[in-house]
Amino acid sequence: MPTKNPRINVVLDPEIYNTLNKLAQSQGISLSLFSRDLIKEALEIREDIYWQEAAEKRNKTLSPKKALSHKDIWK
């Protein structure tokens, strides 16, 4: 039966494979599900880093004289 979700093949070093496998077993889930969850977590971390860098760039150009106060915005 064909699957609805796309699949990928990943080649791992034996040490990494064994570590992932042990962690998946300790959580009682398949290696595939554990790997998927790790990838999701890594993508979330990357996204957080991206938005942090964007905020830092934007903060450098912030002019306190031109910025609106909280009171001005929420009138």
The residue extents of the domains of the chain are 14-61
pLDDT > 70: percent of the chain: 99
| HSE-up (13 A, CA, CB side) for residue 30 | 3
Q: How far is CA 19 from CA 11, 23, 28, 49, in A?
A: 14, 6, 14, 26
Q: What is the pLDDT of residues 36-52, one digit of tens each?
A: 999 999 999 999 999 99
Residue 29 phi/psi, 5° resolution?
-125, 165
Return all residues near 14 (Cβ < 8 A) that are at least 6 apart: none
Instruction: Provide the whole-model pTM.
Output: 0.74
